[in-house]
Amino acid sequence: MFDHVGFGVADFQRSAVFYDAALNPLGIRRLYVVPKEFTGGVDAAGYGVTRPMFWISEQDATQGKLHVAFAAETRAQVDAFYEAALKSGGKDNGPPGLRPHYDKDYYGAFVLDPDGFNVEAVCRAPE
């Protein structure tokens, strides 16, 4: 079980626009912006529902492969995530649909964020 996760992005503003839009249909919002006096002048923000659990910062941009999946309560939320992500700079990496090779009710959508990281929304509830 993890408490929170964070990674560096190449362009904070571009990534913040993407995550603000893509995560909104899932009820996940930018809840906290760390004051720059505490980060040495680096932009950093935390996203969540009741507390920040997902963080991005414009410092030491993460390199290599990264995959993060966000839980959706409904398949409609997965669809809305996918559309919002594409409209805010994401690239298709797998449209919404069932992925029964993971689980019989696994309904997910995959996009590449502005840094090329694989971001997913998944609903595991039956239709």
Find, among 110, 111, 9, 115, the residue nearest to 58 by Cα: 9
pLDDT at 125: 96
Pair type for strands 118-123 and 107-112: antiparallel
Q: Is the pTM of this model over 0.85?
A: yes
Q: Domains in the chain and their CATH numbers? A: 5-57+66-123 (3.10.180.10)
pLDDT at 116: 97
Block residue for tokens 């009741």? 50
Residue pair 4/68 in contact by the 8 Å Cβ criterion: no
Residue pair 21/28 in contact by the 8 Å Cβ criterion: no
Tens of pLDDT, residue by residue over 20-43, are 999 999 999 999 999 999 999 999
pLDDT at 127: 86
User: Which segments of the chain have a pLDDT < 50?
Assistant: none
